């Protein structure tokens, strides 16, 4: 007996800047497999995460709730065990559910509705104790932003294991009588910037285009970003150092892209593409030297905008782009509608399935994100931990990064797309500031 409802293959990377893919117009980054999804799908150019940090962002994807509602607000917060997720919803309607790779639940004993689960602890079993120590020495820690090549083979990298296990699930673990929702999640291109030598050597640090940087970067907005950039040595990074860091970051992206290619090859070889929705996204972005910063923890476009590509069954060469504002919380209800399931309740997201199916759709007027200050990774003295969060509201033209207790930021993205000029002090913008401030405070207690 065969099933009729479509499968879902959800491919997720960690810290992939939206602009850093070939299909998004980057002239240097090599992403042939992500580009392959885009060639037969829809690429969303203005998709946003709900928090520019892993744990709350991922919690929002699988619950369709903003972080203040699902409860995992900072890196150290575990997603509550009773959180209702996309896995629970689809399982109740006859789907197999699996999650392979980095989900970042914090408490990985909680499967959050996924009936098949493999994660870092499973990967570690494939290495001896000495091999694990060798890997740790080679990579040099998760926060490193000094790019260099690794001489280790693919089997030392967790993403290769996650790709192999995803292929094994598709070939051996799934039931032919039930549709599946499979989340295949990768660690790269997250720091450290130490990919396998083959991927690092694809990029010449001396010729890579460097991000545009303002001469007074971070000096007119929230002071915490400048303090953080200086504490971590990013603000003084030389052009030569930045070039090597970018080579490492782009190498990470290409290494991750190859893992995705391994999975896509299996999906197509098995003929599953004919009835599978393919989604590619990342939990949040990466500054990659823009504004003299690395990683995330801020509301600049490089950090909070994410790649999002969706391919529907039967699409061959759609290769379309969509510039509507989309939030990560919209994915869960969208996938439910595409699969003919009831829409979930008590969520902040809204389905954009009509966009994918050429039906009338009322676009979002704004995208929203929030950031609570994380212990140990924002400033070294944790001076902002416990203060109210940064709240972002982004409309077609404007972006407000609202702080109830500090200096907010307002950017005119139409005339200042690089976010170099904080326009919060311009009296001509008072009305737009008040309007966006009211919106920023509104989502705090609302469900759609």
Taking the C-alpha atoms of residue 11 and residue 283, their distance in angstroms, rounded to an integer, is 11
Tell me: the pLDDT tens digits for 36-63?
999 999 999 999 999 999 999 999 999 9
CB burial of 205-240 (b: ≥16 within 10 Å; e: otherwise) equals: beebeebebeeebbebbbebbbbbbeebebbebeee
pLDDT at 315: 83
Task: Identify the weakest region by mean pLDDT among 61-75, 78-92, 136-150.
Answer: 136-150
Residue 259's CATH number: 3.40.720.10
- Mean pLDDT for the chain overall: 95
CA distances from 389 to 24, 269, 330, 410 (A): 30, 47, 22, 16
412 within some domain? no
Which structural domain range is residue 248 located in?
7-358
Long-range Cβ contacts of 393-396 (<8 Å, 24+ apart) = 393/366, 393/367, 393/368, 393/436, 393/439, 393/440, 394/48, 394/325, 394/366, 394/367, 394/368, 394/369, 395/325, 395/365, 395/366, 395/436, 396/325
**Mean pLDDT of the region 227-247:** 96
326 within some domain? yes
Taking the C-alpha atoms of residue 249 and residue 157, their distance in angstroms, rounded to an integer, is 15
374 within some domain? no
Question: Would you list the DSSP string of 219-241?
Answer: SSS-HHHHHHHHHTT-TT--HHH
Taking the C-alpha atoms of residue 386 and residue 77, their distance in angstroms, rounded to an integer, is 13
pLDDT band per the 50, 70, 90 thresholds, residue 1: very low
pLDDT at 316: 82
For 29, other C-beta atoms within 10 Å of its C-beta total 26
Tell me: the pLDDT tens digits for 347-393?
999 999 999 999 999 999 999 999 999 999 999 999 999 999 999 99
Q: Does residue 127 surpass a pLDDT of 80?
A: yes
Q: Does residue 395 surpass a pLDDT of 60?
A: yes
415 within some domain? no
pLDDT at 272: 97
244 within some domain? yes
431 within some domain? no
Q: Does residue 422 surpass a pLDDT of 70?
A: yes
**Mean pLDDT of the region 270-298:** 97
> How many domains does the structure of the chain reveal?
1
281: helix, strand or coil = strand
328 within some domain? yes
């Amino acid at each position: 007996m065969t099933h009729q409802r479509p499968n879902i293959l959800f491919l997720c990377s960690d810290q992939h800047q939206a602009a850093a893919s070939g299909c998004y117009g980057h002239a240097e980054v090599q992403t042939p497999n992500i580009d392959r999804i885009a060639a037969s799908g829809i690429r969303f150019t203005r998709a946003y995460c709900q928090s520019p940090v892993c744990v709350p962002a991922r919690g929002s994807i699988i619950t369709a709730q903003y972080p203040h509602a699902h409860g995992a607000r900072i890196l150290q917060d575990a997603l509550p065990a009773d959180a209702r997720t996309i896995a629970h919803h689809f399982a109740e309607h006859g789907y197999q559910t699996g999650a392979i790779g980095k989900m970042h639940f914090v408490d990985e004993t909680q499967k959050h509705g996924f009936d098949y689960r493999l994660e870092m602890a499973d990967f570690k079993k494939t290495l001896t104790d000495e091999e694990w120590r060798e890997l740790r020495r080679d990579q040099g820690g998760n926060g490193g932003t000094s790019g260099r090549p690794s001489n280790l083979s693919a089997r030392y990298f967790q993403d290769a294991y996650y790709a192999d296990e995803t292929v094994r699930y598709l070939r051996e673990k799934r039931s032919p009588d039930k549709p599946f929702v499979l989340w295949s999640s990768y660690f790269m291109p997250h720091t450290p910037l130490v990919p396998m030598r083959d991927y690092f050597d694809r990029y010449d640090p001396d010729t890579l285009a460097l991000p545009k940087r303002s001469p007074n970067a971070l000096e007119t907005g929230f002071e915490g970003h400048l303090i953080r950039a200086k504490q971590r040595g990013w603000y003084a990074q030389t052009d030569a150092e930045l070039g090597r860091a970018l080579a490492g970051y782009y190498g990470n992206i290409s290494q991750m892209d190859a893992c995705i290619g391994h999975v896509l090859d299996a999906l197509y070889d098995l003929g599953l593409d004919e009835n599978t929705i393919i989604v590619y996204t990342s939990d949040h972005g990466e500054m990659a030297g823009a504004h003299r910063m690395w990683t995330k923890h801020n509301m600049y476009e490089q950090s909070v905008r994410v790649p999002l590509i969706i391919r529907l069954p039967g699409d061959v060469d759609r290769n379309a782009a969509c510039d509507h504002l989309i939030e990560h919380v919209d994915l869960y209800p969208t996938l439910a509608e595409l699969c003919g399931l009831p829409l979930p309740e008590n969520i902040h997201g809204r389905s954009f399935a009509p966009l994918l199916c050429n039906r009338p759709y009322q676009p979002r007027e704004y995208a929203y994100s929030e950031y609570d200050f994380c212990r140990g990774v924002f400033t070294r003295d944790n001076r902002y931990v416990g203060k109210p969060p940064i709240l972002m509201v982004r409309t077609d033209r404007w972006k407000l990064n609202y702080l109830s207790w500090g200096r907010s930021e307002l950017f005119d993205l139409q005339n200042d797309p690089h976010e170099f000029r904080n326009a919060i002090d311009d009296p001509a913008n008072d009305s737009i500031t008040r309007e966006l401030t009211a919106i920023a405070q509104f989502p705090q207690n609302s469900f759609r």
